[in-house]
Chain A
Amino acid sequence: EVQLLESGGGLVQPGGSLRLSCAASGFTFSSYAMSWVRQAPGKGLEWVSAISGSGGSTYYADSVKGRFTISRDNSKNTLYLQMNSLRAEDTAVYYCAKDHNPWRVQGVGYDYWGQGTLVTVSS
């Protein structure tokens, strides 16, 4: 059974940093691109970042480029999102998501999602 378990969310002041983790199980982690998708309170879904299965290719939304860094440790089956220079508008539930197809560098969409972790940026 595929499972994705996010952790690391919490309350942080504007300008602060936070690192999210997503522990994956139930599939060959290194074969799949992974993404982070966020949802601000009462708002729609926003794609944040994606990483290829090998970790060699990374992609970012313009809204987070230069502030967030996605990475993965395939030996630990874990996906990360390092978030720096956080702003109030980064407040959201952050989901990690597994790509639908293996071996696609950028990815094609998500067949499994974690339960989400809430990040609140406020003073």
Chain B
Amino acid sequence: GAGVSQTPSNKVTEKGKYVELRCDPISGHTALYWYRQSLGQGPEFLIYFQGTGAADDSGLPNDRFFAVRPEGSVSTLKIQRTERGDSAVYLCASSPDAGGTDTQYFGPGTRLTVL
């Protein structure tokens, strides 16, 4: 079956611009997660959704970052006034349910470069 998909695969933008990153989870998965991975590091948690609501947004670095999941399926990560330090690979994952030990399945990521 189809896995987690993310678009675009690559995004190059200029400092100060607004960007949106999209994630399509595995069909039927109620939990959706966003992570950010810098070069040479493991992924860092940003936010996760259970259904339409953000269950934990403690990893969002500041108020320039925002994510939505209005219908409990597709999610969009939004970054305002991008900075060069936002350059990273943004990974999305989904799982059948949140919490417990449901395995998270990852998408291929979006590589964001801020010039």
Asked if chains A and B come from one complex, the reply is no
A contacts, CB < 8 Å to B:
none
